[in-house]
Amino acid sequence: MKLHSLEIQAFGPFAKTETINFNDLGENPLFLIDGPTGAGKSSILHAICYALYGETTDQFRQVMVLPQGKFRDLLLAKLDDR
């Protein structure tokens, strides 16, 4: 499996819509996610897990970064439609 793009909104520190195009990284299977503390590096990885499995790998952060209530249900429904 290869990720092509990731769109994040209202997830962790990403209030506005942010899009990562993994195709821009070329054919190299390795890449570095770099940035200062609090920039959202871990949130990118949690967003990938959430998009694939509907939950993150970090139960502590799940309450802090994931959409809750009705919005969470709408997001999961959108993921199911893909």
As for how many domains the chain has, the answer is 1
82 residues of the chain, pLDDT tens digit each: 788 888 888 888 888 888 999 888 888 778 888 999 988 898 888 888 888 887 777 665 555 455 555 555 555 555 554 5
What distance lies between CA 22 and its chain's CA centroid? 13
The structure's pTM equals 0.66
State the pLDDT at residue 36: 92
| Residues of the domain holding 67 | 5-81
